[in-house]
A and B are shown apart, each in its own frame.
Chain A
């Protein structure tokens, strides 16, 4: 039957229970009110149907009331109960309850003990009440009670499975919406960043004269420590100035952080050539030589090369193209921080690829080092030596944690490449 059919079935159901509750008007009212009512019923039997009626057991108020309470209690207790109930139910159909009519009572006592132990106040109260109600019934009554509960449960089975399917669908929709939401958030972030960048540009334009002065001062410096300090001081000056700028008064912390990053990017790109190649042509020549060296290595290198000996199980992802692309981009980034992030991404890409290769082994440094050496040789990004020097002098004292670890891995790989020869 289709879900529509099932739904239809249950759409009519409330009407039936409504009829029942008309007979017993207090079904939906809370327990205390009911108790009061019961007391009064006891006194004035004439006014309503009898509370406990052995003749019409299954329609009397006590029966439906107890059943409802049992349902509440059973649905509130932990998942263990599902299996308790299963254990319990086969006996119901057969001799179980006949032999021991207190079976259900026992189970409730067990639950109560656990609830007491867990100090679950609500559950304790509900269980006490349920036990009190169950006590009204004899063995036959208990059996009828359980059977009636079971029938209810079975008749709801289709509905329950329908609900489960609905929930599955909803979960799917939910995760889809989450993804859409994260896309929108990302878009918002990109727009926000862009706006920050534009504002920074306008702000820096106002400071152009001091930027020019800073640059000419910077170019006069020769000692690398002085250069680092100079950049740091100028950046601090700009951050201070930004704090006083009216445009930035309303900016939140995140925006300020982004703006500082943008300022750093801008300033570093202005002094980039001088900072990257402090010795001018000498540095450029050295980088070119190194690049030539790597190019020659690239002709002889294979994953099984004597200096690498990458295990076979890791060779299927060779040549780790994604990682090569990452590291090749390193010169596109101007600030030392962005360059280090680039190295970080390259390293984690390699680790990801390695961990995909073998589900059982967790890749570690032993597996990583030869692969990053291979990746660097194959990608052969220009200006490697100057890049390392640049980062050491302008970011060396700020780097830490995981970033530092991957950075040192990268440096040591480059160090190793320096000493490699062209033998196969």
Chain B
């Protein structure tokens, strides 16, 4: 029984690289939201990144809703990603601002074999640029690249063009094979580190601080 292995039911990944007691406390906690239509494989990408596995072989995991992983960027800063998965169904769309509020990073995922998922991703990007934290770093990710030969609907150029028009990072990945998955996150981490290093101790990348000031409003 899968649940017996982890009776405490923690959904996060194992602590990687010791972020909390990391080198000289230089680790930075970054809240990252995953957005995209239901079924595009948002959580598979996160799971692949955090655990290096794809759930096809039935590996027991309690959940992929909240995951964490620390990675090191070139200038020896550690970035600890708090990865927040969000519900992708259209009917829960209105709840999204509660999740991306104050997030310094977002990964918007679509499925290269689905036109609707790409349209949804474009809508997400628009919404984020209008409503989220203005400093937010967005990566547009086309998943299921392993199925490109059989079922590609969205040409790579379309994704690339939309990304460059909106100042996003762009990658096509496959959560199934693991192709490019790590790149998405390492590139994001590098950009965030570069963004925040000139003004050291910048508070824009500290999700908790931003959260603090704005959260009162959502209660009722």
| Complexed CA–CA distance, A388 and B219 (Å) | 6
Is A402 touching B99 in the complex (CB atoms < 8 A)? Answer: no
Is A366 touching B63 in the complex (CB atoms < 8 A)? Answer: no
| Complexed CA–CA distance, A396 and B60 (Å) | 33
Contact of B56 among A360, A385, A388 (CB under 8 A): A360
Is A366 touching B88 in the complex (CB atoms < 8 A)? Answer: yes
Shortest B4–chain A CB gap in Å is: 10
Q: List B53-92 residues whose CB lies under 8 Å from chain A.
A: 55-56, 58, 60-66, 68, 82, 84-89, 91-92
| Complexed CA–CA distance, A355 and B61 (Å) | 7
Given A351-B9, A355-B60, A411-B218, does the pair A365, B87 have CB atoms closer than 8 Å? Answer: yes
For B99, the chain A residues whose CB sits under 8 A away are 408, 412
Is A392 touching B89 in the complex (CB atoms < 8 A)? Answer: no
For B219, the chain A residues whose CB sits under 8 A away are 385, 388-389, 392, 411
Shortest B50–chain A CB gap in Å is: 11
For B58, the chain A residues whose CB sits under 8 A away are 359-360
Tell whether A307 is near chain B: CB-to-CB under 8 Å. yes
Tell whether A361 is near chain B: CB-to-CB under 8 Å. yes
Contact of B220 among A360, A370, A389 (CB under 8 A): A389
Task: Please name the residue on chain B nearest to A415 by beta carbon.
Answer: B95
For A362, the chain B residues whose CB sits under 8 A away are 43-44, 47, 55, 61, 63-64
| Complexed CA–CA distance, A149 and B211 (Å) | 71
Given A365-B85, A366-B88, A415-B95, does the pair A405, B65 have CB atoms closer than 8 Å? Answer: yes
For A306, the chain B residues whose CB sits under 8 A away are 91
| Complexed CA–CA distance, A401 and B29 (Å) | 9
* Majority secondary structure, B binding face: mixed
For B28, the chain A residues whose CB sits under 8 A away are none
Task: Please name the residue on chain B nearest to A401 by beta carbon.
Answer: B82
* Majority secondary structure, A binding face: helix
For A61, the chain B residues whose CB sits under 8 A away are none
Is B64 touching A359 in the complex (CB atoms < 8 A)? Answer: no
| Complexed CA–CA distance, A306 and B89 (Å) | 12
Is A405 touching B62 in the complex (CB atoms < 8 A)? Answer: no
Is B215 touching A351 in the complex (CB atoms < 8 A)? Answer: no
Tell whether A118 is near chain B: CB-to-CB under 8 Å. no
Q: List A399-415 residues whose CB lies under 8 Å from chain B.
A: 400-402, 404-406, 408-409, 411-412, 415
| Complexed CA–CA distance, A409 and B99 (Å) | 8
Q: List B99-154 residues whose CB lies under 8 Å from chain A.
A: 99
Is A405 touching B9 in the complex (CB atoms < 8 A)? Answer: no
Is A368 touching B87 in the complex (CB atoms < 8 A)? Answer: yes
Is A351 touching B216 in the complex (CB atoms < 8 A)? Answer: no
Interface centre among B10, B42, B65 (most CB of A within 10 A): B65
Contact of A363 among B63, B208, B218 (CB under 8 A): B63
Q: Mark B159-195, 1 if CB is under 8 A from A, else 0.
A: 0000000000000000000000000000000000000
Interface contacts beyond A355-B2, A365-B86, A408-B98: sample of 13 additional A-B pairs, CB < 8 Å, sorted by A: A348-B9, A359-B60, A362-B64, A364-B85, A368-B63, A392-B218, A396-B215, A396-B216, A400-B208, A406-B66, A408-B84, A408-B99, A412-B92
Q: Which residues of B contact A (CB under 8 A)?
A: 1-3, 8-12, 34, 38-39, 42-44, 47, 55-56, 58, 60-66, 68, 82, 84-89, 91-92, 94-95, 98-99, 208, 211-212, 215-216, 218-220
A selection of 19 A-B contacts at a CB cut-off of 8 Å is: A348-B62, A351-B65, A352-B3, A360-B56, A360-B58, A363-B63, A366-B85, A388-B219, A389-B219, A392-B218, A392-B219, A393-B216, A404-B211, A405-B66, A405-B82, A411-B98, A415-B94, A415-B95, A416-B94
Q: Which residues of A contact B (CB under 8 A)?
A: 224, 286, 306-307, 309, 348-349, 351-352, 354-356, 359-366, 368-370, 385, 388-389, 392-393, 396-397, 400-402, 404-406, 408-409, 411-412, 415-416, 419
Listed from nearest, the 4 A-B pairs whose CB atoms lie closest are A364-B43, A348-B9, A365-B85, A412-B95
